[in-house]
């Protein structure tokens, strides 16, 4: 039963991805998984990149209790059938604002 459900879900997710261009699963202010279609020119004379991109965003240090920053690491992976690209990782810190949101503080230390 579970195998059948998984098999039937894959075409549905592929159709949804084709229609919307991206799927995002957000589980908090800074925790997110994103899957999107890549279809871009890579530069003059360099060709075209086509495929799927996947990114994960996770909290790596949370010091909001001490009015400190929240540092978030994002990993980006590509599965390209045309062109090429390398995985990318970056980290950014945010500080709480008076309005209840967050302001960027720049790269992680």
Q: Is residue 77 part of a domain?
A: yes
pLDDT surpasses 90 at 32: yes
Determine the pLDDT at residue 74: 96
Q: What does the pLDDT look like over 59-91, one tens digit per residue?
A: 988 666 666 788 999 999 999 888 888 899 999
For 55, the domain range is 22-107
Q: Is residue 76 part of a domain?
A: yes
Q: Is residue 4 part of a domain?
A: no
Q: Is residue 80 part of a domain?
A: yes
Residue 72's nearest CA partner among 52, 54, 55 is 55
Structural domains of the chain, count: 1
**Secondary structure in 3-state letters for the chain:** CHHHHHHHHHHHHHHHHHHHCEEEEECCCCCEEEEEEEEEEEECCCEEEEEEEEEEEEEEEECHHHCCCEEEEEEEEEEEEECCCCCEEEEEEEEECCCCCEEEEEECC
Q: What does the pLDDT look like over 34-66, one tens digit per residue?
A: 999 888 776 666 678 888 999 999 998 866 666
pLDDT band at 1; cut points 50, 70, 90: confident
Determine the pLDDT at residue 64: 60
């Amino acid at each position: 039963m579970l195998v059948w459900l998984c098999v039937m879900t894959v075409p549905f997710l592929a159709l949804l991805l084709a229609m919307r261009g991206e799927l995002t699963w957000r589980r908090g202010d800074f925790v997110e998984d994103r899957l999107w279609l890549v279809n871009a020119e890579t530069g003059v004379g360099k060709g075209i990149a086509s495929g799927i991109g996947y990114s994960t965003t996770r909290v790596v240090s949370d010091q909001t209790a001490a009015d400190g920053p929240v540092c978030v690491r994002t990993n980006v992976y590509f599965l390209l059938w045309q062109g090429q690209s390398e995985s990318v990782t970056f980290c950014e810190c945010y500080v709480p604002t008076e309005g209840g949101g967050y302001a960027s503080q720049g790269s992680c230390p």
